């Protein structure tokens, strides 16, 4: 499995590829020449962990699935070490972890065997050759009816029909615009409103609930307040806010 070359500096690694932790376990079992049914959790756990350690030493990336299996094996082993708790009152049947593992391995082995069969089938199938579909393009009949018999009028007619159809193909004219708000314009509007009403409730100005509109309106109010074109009045905390025209109070 691992062959370290004589030269300490160079590794010669010859490692079989595994499809996953179950594959590795099966390999280890086969290597130690035991029947799946006779595996001992302790032994197999040790072998498995040794293998993982070796992989680590070789700086191989270990897929997380291998570590999960390592943890599961350790858990199984520790369970077997614990004294058997006698659950007389509780008939809860708990599957033997060892048996569970064996079943999983057998299940996996089963499909691994099938995959070998599939492989054979596939190479067998590959010895039956076939050919690309024939390209029949060159035999396609040219549409030759009415050749040489078209007069100018027919052509004109056909062309105008084509133009008509083409017209339908055109996209309909539509204008897509986004309404833009500017602080300057909105400021003037607000100024006008306040001039007329003298006193306006703050929320009244937000008569449209689009983001742009709200932001622009708010900015306009601040701008106007800054320029002292209006005053912002609130009598008390959480009272209504009023905007008052400058000089009219």
Partner 1 sequence: MNLVGVLEGILFLVGDEGLTLEKVKEILDIDDEQLNNILNKLREEYGKENHGISIEIFGDNLKLVTKKQYKEYYEKLVEYEKNGTLSQASLETLAIIAYNEPVTRNFVEEIRGVDSSHIIRKLLFRDLIKEIGRSDLPGRPILYGTTTLFLDCLGLSSIDQLPKIEKNQTEDREVDLYESKYKE
CB 198 within 8 A of CB 245: yes
Are residues 241 and 201 in contact, defined by beta-carbon separation less than 8 angstroms? yes
129 binds partner 1 (CB under 8 A): yes
Q: Which long-range contacts (CB under 8 A, 24 or more apart) does 204-209 make?
A: 205/243
Q: Does 242 bind partner 1 (CB under 8 A)?
A: no
Asked if 22 interacts with partner 1 (CB under 8 A), we say yes
* Residue 188 found at the interface with partner 1 (CB under 8 A): no
Stretch that binds partner 1, among 38-46, 76-84, 123-131, 190-198 (CB under 8 A): 123-131
- Sole window of 14-22, 164-172, 181-189, 215-223 interacting with partner 1 (rule: CB under 8 A): 14-22
Q: Does 213 bind partner 1 (CB under 8 A)?
A: no
Q: Is 122 in the site for partner 1 (CB under 8 A)?
A: yes
The stretch among 47-55, 122-130, 181-189, 206-214 that binds partner 1 (CB under 8 A) is 122-130
Cβ distance 101 to 41 under 8 Å?
yes
Number of residues that bind partner 1 (CB under 8 A): 40
- Cα–Cα distance for residue pair 163/120, rounded to 1 Å: 62
Question: What whole-number distance in Å separates Cα of residue 206 and Cα of residue 183?
Answer: 14
In the region spanning residues 51 to 110, those forming contacts with partner 1, defined by CB under 8 A, are 63, 65, 69, 104, 106-108, 110
The verdict on 19 binding partner 1 (CB under 8 A) reads: yes
Contacts to partner 1 by CB under 8 A: 17, 19-22, 35-36, 63, 65, 69, 104, 106-108, 110-134, 136
């Amino acid at each position: 499995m691992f062959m370290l070359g004589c030269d300490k500096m160079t590794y010669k690694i010859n490692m079989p590829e595994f499809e996953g932790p179950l594959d590795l376990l099966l390999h280890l079992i086969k290597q130690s020449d035991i029947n799946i049914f006779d595996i001992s959790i302790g032994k197999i756990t040790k072998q498995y962990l040794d293998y993982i350690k070796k992989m680590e030493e070789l700086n191989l990336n270990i897929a997380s699935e291998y570590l999960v299996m390592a943890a599961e094996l350790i858990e199984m082993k520790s369970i077997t070490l614990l004294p058997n708790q006698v659950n007389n009152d509780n008939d809860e049947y708990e599957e033997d972890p060892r048996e569970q593992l064996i079943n999983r391995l057998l299940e996996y082995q089963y499909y691994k065997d099938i995959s070998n069969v599939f492989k054979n089938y596939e190479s067998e199938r590959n010895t039956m050759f076939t050919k690309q579909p024939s390209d029949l393009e060159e035999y396609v009949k040219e549409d030759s009816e009415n050749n040489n018999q078209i007069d100018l009028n027919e052509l004109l007619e056909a062309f105008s029909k084509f133009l008509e159809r083409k017209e339908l193909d055109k996209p309909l004219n539509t204008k897509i615009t986004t309404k833009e708000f500017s602080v300057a314009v909105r400021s003037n509007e607000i100024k006008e409103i306040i001039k007329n009403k003298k006193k306006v409730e703050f929320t009244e100005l937000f008569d449209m609930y689009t983001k742009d509109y709200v932001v622009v309106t708010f900015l306009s109010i601040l701008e106007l307040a800054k320029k002292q074109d209006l005053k912002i009045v609130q009598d008390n905390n959480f009272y209504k806010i009023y905007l008052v025209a400058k000089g009219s109070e």
